[in-house]
Structure 1
Amino acid sequence: MTPRTTPMPMPAPTPGDRGRYGGLAADFAAAFSAEWLKLRTLRSTWWILLTFFAVGASFAVLYGAAAGGRVEEHLGDPAFDPVFLGFGGQLIAQLAMVCLGVLAVGGEYSSGTIRSSLTAVPRRGLFWAAKSAVLGAVALAAALPTAFIGFWLAQTSMGPELNVSLGDPGALRATLGVAVHLTVICLISAGVTAVLRGTVLSLGVLVPLIFLLPQLIGPVPGVVGRVAWYLPQLAGSQLMRSFPDERVDFGPGGALAVMLVWAAVAFAGGLAALRRRDA
């Protein structure tokens, strides 16, 4: 009699070779799941998100209370935007989104785990798309509730003479614009870090680009000052206003286009760096 043999089990397909089993969608789903697992198991991720929420909420109260103490001055100012003023805390809290993007990418280079990540997902475009999608989803999921809670806290702190509701013109759009701005800031940070491959160097570039450069060249008259409005910080601030700043050549729609261009450039830069260089 011929001895019976037990068939060897087939190894589970990895994201690198799963295309022959389930196509690109299955590959992307596997890579996305792996990136989400890496991000959520980092303790720093949760500390950053907690800090982001705490800073955004606390400064919303502070900004709202400060405005409420100057009612007569603000009521006589046609440029006063209670929605934008209430979101001043989000412009401070965005530093946490910078850190999230930098650490999610730079941590892999500093620890050397980028090698195993690219071994598991050798198609670098797929790897970078999955990582960017996870970062964008996490940033948006954190930014949306923080924006709405920050809006409510700021408007409540201002008092009935100044505050507005989400139903007032431009308020809901501006609140959603905050979430878009913060998400793009995170993606820009990830892209810069993929190019520079280091957390300290990336922060050394991003902090001046996002926080300092707009304040330095924004007040400069002429072409230089107008160019500053296309930087992510100032372009994103247009999304946070209930009515556009008259000094700027574009409104909320143009600001959204500028931010999407920044996000696309960050993605393309990170992808190009990954494809050109070894891990």
Structure 2
Amino acid sequence: MRPMSCRKKTLWISWQGEEGLPRFYPLPVCVRRETALLHIGYWDKAREQAYRNLEAAESAGSVSDAANCRYNLAGFCGRFGELDKAMHLYLLAMDYFDETGDKTRAHLAIWNIGNVYKERREYEKAIEHYRRALEVFLAKDLFREAATILGDLGEILTDLSEYAEAEQCFRRAIGLSRKHRCLRSLSEALGKSARFCLKSGDIEAALTMLEESLAINRSMRDRRGIAGELLAMGEVEMGRGMPGRAFIYFREALDISTEINDEIGASRAREKVDGAAALIDGQATERQKNISKINYTRGVESCTKHSR
């Protein structure tokens, strides 16, 4: 069988539909190509395509397409740390969605504005935007989006030391995802709840949640999700003083991130691999020193006995 060309592979993937995108609006072909590049792992190329999409929409005078393109491009800006630009684009998109009465998409923008505030650590503003979006998503039965927001709220509340309320958010997110079989949001909620368990010292519960999340990502063949959970499990093992186990998780995460062209993920995984390897070498060196000390002591004792 002949290998699929990059173009054919891109278009084939784009036609399958991506769970990571909102499910309630049609996408023009050019935006589907951008989405496909994203899912293949070509973040830089996908961002370039997003800029081209916006330029084309503005040149054509299509206000609707331009708003959609601004919304999509804002996501890339946030991913690459361009938070001010992301905020500006989300606000422009939200204004258009409000004007046209598209309440769902307007609140998707509000949710993402909350994400930008979260990255800036402006937590009160983030919570305000999350709760506005959550109310609409629950009313419209958009359970995956609602569960994801609950997980985001839980993370912020954890940072604010509101542990009881944070735990309640994580439980609601997990329960909502299980009830409505939203695998992606369930995986995310389990991962976030696991980090909460680690902060509270419940390592076994954290590992159980991470293992379930990893299994879900494997069942969905979400390689980026798999790599993320492997990194998290490796960090837990490092915290338990098990660099050997951690190295195995980090190494697999590095291999996956490299294969899917996730440069950011690969860089992070490589740093973790190096850290675990250094600890393993350090432990081996320390063990060898201890063995040498024991052998030296035994040798001295033996010589002393013979001299007597």
Task: Calculate the TM-score normalised by the size of structure 1.
Answer: 0.23
Q: Which has the larger helix fraction?
A: 2
Q: Which has the larger radius of gyration?
A: 2
Which has the bigger relative contact order, CA under 8 A and spacing at least 6?
A: 1
